[in-house]
Amino acid sequence: MKILFCFGTRPEAIKMAPLYHELQKSNFEVKVCVTAQHREMLDQVLDFFGIVPDYDLDLMQPNQTLNRLSASILFNMDEVLKDAQPDLVLVHGDTSTSSMVALATFHLGIKVGHVEAGLRTYNKQAPFPEEINRQITSRIVDFHFTPTQAATQNLLNEGIRPKYIVETGNTIIDALLWTIDKIGDVNYVHPEIERLKKCISLNKKIVLVTGHRRENFGEGFENLCEALLSVSERDDVVIIYPVHLNPNVKETVYGKLANTSNIYLIPPVSYPAFVWLMQQSFLIVTDSGGIQEEAPSIGKPVLVTRTVSERPEGVKVGFSTLVGTDTQKIVDSIHSILDNFTSFDGLKNPYGAGDASQKIVTFLLNKD
């Protein structure tokens, strides 16, 4: 079977990397197409996981509109699909790449599989545009690889037939555990991690912060920054914030937090360096979906700066807490965790055990 992977962002690449290698081990003919919806951050992940794209559309443009990006993906995929002649195309998650590649593939009568299928908020504005991307993709694809029982149930409720749904866990746990093993090897040296060790105080409680959601641009990020300023007054805390490259994020964050004691604003870090930072942290404040999935595996509490999440399992178990972008709520929640959290002993990560890629490969080996 000839399989074509298509992805365009760093999170997609991280989550597809272990599946790519698992399929290769099982003697599938695998090719990779990247749209480069994100460029620099995507390339870092490809290098770390040893993936060389067969097709690179290089579509990233400064302040590109969603319509222009979507049109470019749809248009450029024609030639890729005609050249690659895959039996199956695999897309991931909720990006413009996933939905537009699925549509382009459907137009040519080629089967599509959706990794990390079935996540829903049923609020088309949150996350925007990811919620609608997911719903569009689900209507197009042939095979749905869901990470949790709740995601499976969402698809069943939408009329997807059970035989086309495979519940696997999330491949990000596969990638996380692989990365922890690699960076934990005494013979492995990562220059970025070594630099972080020299500039960050590890004898304080580290609050690790990320943010990139469009719905938080403007007031949302301003409120988050005000909360971080308040928390930074604690003597026992250091805040580490790898700042997203999007100008809507970067300008607000640096304008509010630059040159503040106990707050380290750093450029986006590579995936292995970020995993190392997660391991060192006491808690994580984020609007990221992937971090909500990863953090339970390393026992870190997460405050989610969103009012709704398509990953409710972590919230239900207690790994994550939705705090939105209300300044006082963020401040109070951070203080509460810093002062009271001990551990998640006895709780299992609801997003999987690190064998999702194997389950997907097993299905593809045995399907009719």
Tokens standing for 242? 């790898």
Residue 31 is predicted with a pLDDT of 98
Contact 232, 6 (CB under 8 A): no
Q: Mean of the pLDDT values across residues 20-32?
A: 97
Tokens standing for 159? 């009329």
First to last CA, the chain: 12
Sign of CA dihedral 193, 197, 202, 205: negative
Looking at every residue in the chain, the average pLDDT score rounds to: 95
Range 256-277 burial, b when 16+ CB lie within 10 A, else e: bbeeeebbbbbebbbbbbbbbb
Q: Mean of the pLDDT values across residues 318-329?
A: 97
Tokens standing for 274? 């970020």
Give the tens place of pLDDT for each residue, 85-105: 999 999 999 999 999 999 999
Residues 6+ apart with CB under 8 A from 197: none
Residue 52 is predicted with a pLDDT of 96
Asked if the model's pLDDT at residue 40 lies above 80, the reply is no
Residue 25 is predicted with a pLDDT of 96
Give the tens place of pLDDT for each residue, 235-276: 999 999 999 888 889 999 999 999 998 999 999 999 999 999
Residue 247 is predicted with a pLDDT of 87
Q: Kindly write down the DSSP assignment for every residue of 294-344, as one continuous string.
A: HGGGGT--EEE-SS--S-HHHHHHTSEEE-TT-HHHHHHHHHHHHHH----
Contact 125, 215 (CB under 8 A): yes
Q: DSSP secondary-structure letter at 200? A: S
Q: Assign domain 191-340 to its CATH superfamily.
A: Glycogen Phosphorylase B; (3.40.50.2000)
Q: Per-residue confidence at 368, pLDDT binned at 50, 70, 90?
A: low
Give the tens place of pLDDT for each residue, 221-236: 999 999 999 999 999 9
Quote the percentage of the chain above a pLDDT of 70.
99
Residue 201 is predicted with a pLDDT of 81
Residue 41 is predicted with a pLDDT of 75
Asked if the model's pLDDT at residue 305 lies above 90, the reply is yes
Rounded Cα distance between 65 and 84, Å, is: 28
The residue among 357, 365, 324 whose CA lies nearest residue 16 is 357
Give the tens place of pLDDT for each residue, 163-214: 999 999 999 999 999 999 999 999 999 999 999 999 888 899 999 999 988 8
Residues 6+ apart with CB under 8 A from 260: 229, 232
Sign of CA dihedral 54, 57, 58, 60: negative
Q: Assign domain 2-170+352-366 to its CATH superfamily.
A: Glycogen Phosphorylase B; (3.40.50.2000)
Q: Mean of the pLDDT values across residues 119-144?
A: 96
Extents of the domains making up the chain: 2-170+352-366, 191-340
Q: Mean of the pLDDT values across residues 282-307?
A: 97
> Model pTM?
0.93
How many other β-carbons are positioned within 10 Å of the β-carbon of residue 198? 6
The residues assigned a catalytic role are 94, 116, 130, 212, 214, 244
Asked if the model's pLDDT at residue 297 lies above 80, the reply is yes
Quote the percentage of the chain above a pLDDT of 90.
90
Residue given tokens 């509010």 in the structure block: 256
Asked if the model's pLDDT at residue 106 lies above 90, the reply is yes
Residue 216 is predicted with a pLDDT of 87
Asked if the model's pLDDT at residue 360 lies above 90, the reply is yes
The reply to whether domains 2-170+352-366 and 191-340 share a CATH topology is yes
